[in-house]
C-alpha cells in the first residue's frame, strides 16, 4: 500500500520534488561533459523543488545527465538555480556545487502542478500538468552518485594555471522513496543564453513526470579525484555558477 507522507498544515519546505525525465541527443551531452567523465544514456533529469536550507525554504531547479567517473555510474550536474543568495557562493567555494541565482515559481493546487524558472530575465523552463494518481514507490534503499567539479583558476588569469586544479566531487546520497505520484503534463524548454538547456539538450521524447518524496538516509560529499588540468581548461569558463560553457562568466555566442 502506498504510504502518504505526513506534514504540518501550512509547511512549505519539503514539498515533493517535480522530476521530469526526457531523451535528448548524445551530441549535446558530449559538448558539456568535462574530459574524464564518460557519458551515459542521453536522458536528462530536470528537478524543481523546495527544501529547507539554512533555516529557510529554498526553491531550486536542477539539470543533470548520466555520466560515470572511474567506472561508477552517476549523474553530472550542469546547474542548480536557487532563489536564496546565502547558499550560492559558500556551496561553490567549499564543494564545487554549481549553484546560481534563479527565480522559481512552483506549486501544486489541487491536482494542478506548474513550474517556471527565470534567470537574467529569461524564462528557460516551463511545466504544466495534472496529477493522475499515486503509484507504488520503488522498494528498498538506493544510493545515487552526483558529480560536481571543483577548481580555481590562478590569480591573474594565466593560461592553464590553477590555484586549485580541477577535481571531481562525489555526492553519494542514500535514500528510499516514500511517495510517488504520476503527472500528465508537458515540459517546455525556452531558448536562453544564460541557461542553454534547449540549445544543448533539446527534447526528443519526454519519458516521465512525477512528484516524488524521498526519505534521505545518508549523504556523503567527498573528493573523488583529479581531472586532467590541461584537458579540463576549455571547461573552466562557465556561465555564472553553473557548469554551462561560458565566456568570462557570461554566455557564449551560439
Tell me, rounded to whole angstroms, the distance of Cα 137 from its chain centroid: 22
In the predicted structure, residue 2 carries a pLDDT above the cut 80: no
Per-residue pLDDT tens digits for 29-76 = 999 999 999 999 999 999 999 998 888 889 999 999 999 999 999 999
CB atoms within 10 A of CB 170: 19
- Which of 253, 241, 237 lies closest to 34, judged by CA? 237
Which domains are seen in the chain, by residue range? Answer: 17-247 (2.40.400.10)
Per-residue pLDDT tens digits for 171-199 = 999 999 999 999 999 999 999 999 999 99
- Lowest-confidence segment of 10-14, 139-143, 188-192 by average pLDDT: 10-14
Three-state secondary structure call for residue 163? strand
CB burial of residue 212 (10 Å; 0-12, 13-18, 19+): middle
> Cα(212)–Cα(72) distance, rounded to whole angstroms?
24
- Its pTM surpasses 0.75: yes
What per-residue confidence (pLDDT) applies to 3? 43
CB 242 within 8 A of CB 216: no
What per-residue confidence (pLDDT) applies to 15? 79
Amino acid at each position: 500500500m502506498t504510504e502518504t507522507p505526513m506534514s504540518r498544515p501550512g509547511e512549505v519546505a519539503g514539498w515533493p520534488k517535480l522530476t521530469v525525465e526526457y531523451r535528448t541527443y548524445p551530441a549535446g551531452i558530449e559538448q558539456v561533459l568535462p574530459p574524464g567523465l564518460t557519458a551515459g544514456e542521453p536522458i536528462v533529469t530536470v528537478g524543481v523543488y523546495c527544501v529547507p536550507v539554512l533555516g529557510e525554504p529554498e526553491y531550486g531547479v536542477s539539470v543533470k545527465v548520466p555520466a560515470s567517473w572511474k567506472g561508477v555510474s552517476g549523474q553530472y550536474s550542469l546547474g542548480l538555480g536557487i532563489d536564496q543568495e546565502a547558499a550560492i557562493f559558500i556551496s561553490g567555494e567549499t564543494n564545487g556545487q554549481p549553484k546560481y541565482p534563479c527565480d522559481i515559481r512552483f506549486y501544486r493546487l489541487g491536482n494542478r502542478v506548474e513550474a517556471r524558472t527565470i534567470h537574467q530575465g529569461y524564462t528557460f523552463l516551463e511545466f504544466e500538468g495534472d496529477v493522475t494518481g499515486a503509484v507504488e514507490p520503488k522498494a528498498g534503499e538506493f544510493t545515487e552518485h552526483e558529480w560536481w567539479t571543483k577548481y580555481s583558476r590562478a590569480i591573474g588569469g594565466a593560461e592553464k594555471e590553477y590555484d586549485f586544479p580541477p577535481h571531481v566531487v562525489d555526492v553519494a546520497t542514500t535514500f528510499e522513496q516514500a511517495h510517488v505520484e504520476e503527472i500528465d503534463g508537458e515540459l517546455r524548454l525556452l531558448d536562453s543564453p544564460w541557461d542553454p538547456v534547449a540549445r544543448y539538450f533539446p527534447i526528443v521524447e519526454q519519458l516521465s513526470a512525477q512528484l516524488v518524496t524521498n526519505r534521505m538516509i545518508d549523504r556523503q560529499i567527498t573528493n573523488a579525484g583529479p581531472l586532467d588540468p590541461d584537458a579540463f581548461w576549455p571547461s573552466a569558463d562557465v556561465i555564472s555558477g553553473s557548469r554551462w560553457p561560458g565566456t568570462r562568466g557570461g554566455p557564449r555566442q551560439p
